[in-house]
Every structure is written in structure tokens, then in C-alpha cells.
């Protein structure tokens, strides 16, 4: 099985690229939102370390945002609890798809949380700053302060790009992205 890790900036279109490979995708952001909605265990653990912030189940994104923005250490607490669960979900995904030729790992903190292996094929999604800004501003509930906090826990983009085996210039035009993906698949298969 070839593991393909998708790297890039927040809003660069990593999930869009991941979906267009046509292979099973592990989307960490989607899994986190499922945890908030369906995992009583995650709620209990977050409530235990931040009782003044995480008070309702299913967990509301507003509560998570408020916790992160109110106290520097809360983001670390959330990451510690949530990422342990995401790691388990990723291993289940890999086990379930072990006979697939390729799996796609759409995990924003793939390198930061050391979820990659030396054999993984890393693809950096590069997008223009203005295009990213435009796309982020269109997002429902986009919060600039939260965005800045998340940027601080990420490795520099230049480092991620250097570490990558391939770079896809995402201009958000399906045809050109599809061509890049096809070229990459031809090289790794």
C-alpha cells in the first residue's frame, strides 16, 4: 500500500486535491468534527480539562473556539486529547484499507504529529495567498484569530514544501489539478 500525505496551507485545497485522487481518503478534519458530534468519551475528557469551556454534548464548535481564544494552553489540551483519538481512527482506516493500492492521508498536522513514515509520498498543495484569503473569508464561521492560532502550531510552509516529493499548484480549476494528479499517479504506481 502506498500512503500519500497531502500537505499545504489552511485553505489551500488539500481536501479537494485528496478527493480527486480517486482512492480512499482519511480526512482528519472530518473525523474531528465527527468526534465532537458523536464521542461522549472526547466530551468527557475535554470537559475534565476545561470544565468552564466545554459544557455541552454534542460539543459545539463555538465552545472549542472560545476555549482556544480565551487561554493559550487550551489549544494544547484540545490537541492532546483529540489527536490521540484521530491517531486511533487513522490506524483503523489503514487497517481497513490495507489491500488498497493507495490511500490518501488528508491530515493538516501530518508532519507536526509525526504521523508520516519515511516511505510516504508527500504532496504539497501550493495556492496563491489571495485565492486562499478569498476562500477562507467565504467559509461559514471563519475566525481570523483562530486561524492565526492554528498557523502557530504548524510547521513553516517552506519546510513542508521542501519535504514533499511533489508539488501541485492548485488554481482551483478541476482540469489542471486532475492532470497533475494523473502525472503523480503515473510516477508512483
Q: Which CATH number fits domain 1-24+102-189: 3.30.2350.10, 3.90.550.10, 3.40.50.300, 3.40.50.1820?
A: 3.40.50.300
- The backbone torsions φ and ψ at residue 114, rounded to the nearest 5 degrees and listed phi first, read 50, 50
Answer whether residue 8 shows pLDDT above 90: yes
Predicted local confidence at residue 82, as pLDDT: 94
Best CA proximity match to 24, nearest among 99, 115, 112? 99
CA distances to 37, 45, 93, 107 from 90, rounded to whole Å, are: 18, 20, 5, 10
Q: Which three cell numbers stand for residue 155?
A: 510547521
Residues in the chain: 189
Question: Would you state the pLDDT for residue 137?
Answer: 82
Please say if the pLDDT value at position 172 is more than 80: no
Domain boundaries, the chain: 1-24+102-189, 30-96
Would you state the pLDDT for residue 18?
96
Q: Average pLDDT of the chain?
A: 93
25 touches 14 (CB < 8 A) = no
Percent above pLDDT 70 for the chain: 100
Span 114-129, average pLDDT: 94
pLDDT of residue 132 exceeding 90, the answer is no
Amino acid at each position: 500500500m502506498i500512503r500519500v500525505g497531502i500537505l499545504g496551507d489552511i485553505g489551500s485545497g488539500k481536501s479537494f486535491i485528496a478527493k480527486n485522487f480517486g482512492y480512499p481518503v482519511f480526512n482528519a478534519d472530518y473525523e474531528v468534527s465527527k468526534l465532537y458530534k458523536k464521542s461522549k468519551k472526547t466530551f468527557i475528557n475535554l470537559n475534565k480539562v476545561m470544565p468552564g469551556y466545554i459544557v455541552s454534548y454534542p460539543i459545539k464548535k463555538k465552545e472549542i473556539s472560545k476555549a482556544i481564544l480565551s487561554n493559550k494552553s487550551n489549544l494544547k489540551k484540545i490537541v492532546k486529547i483529540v489527536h490521540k483519538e484521530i491517531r486511533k481512527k487513522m490506524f483503523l482506516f489503514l487497517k481497513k484499507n490495507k489491500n488498497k493500492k493507495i490511500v490518501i492521508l488528508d491530515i493538516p498536522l501530518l508532519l507536526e504529529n509525526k504521523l508520516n513514515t519515511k516511505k510516504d509520498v508527500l504532496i504539497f498543495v501550493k495556492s496563491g495567498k489571495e485565492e486562499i484569503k478569498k476562500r477562507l473569508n467565504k467559509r461559514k464561521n471563519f475566525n481570523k484569530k483562530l486561524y492565526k492560532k492554528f498557523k502557530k502550531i504548524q510547521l513553516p510552509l517552506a519546510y513542508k514544501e521542501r519535504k514533499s516529493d511533489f508539488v501541485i499548484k492548485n488554481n482551483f480549476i478541476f482540469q489542471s489539478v486532475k492532470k497533475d494528479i494523473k502525472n503523480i499517479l503515473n510516477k508512483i504506481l
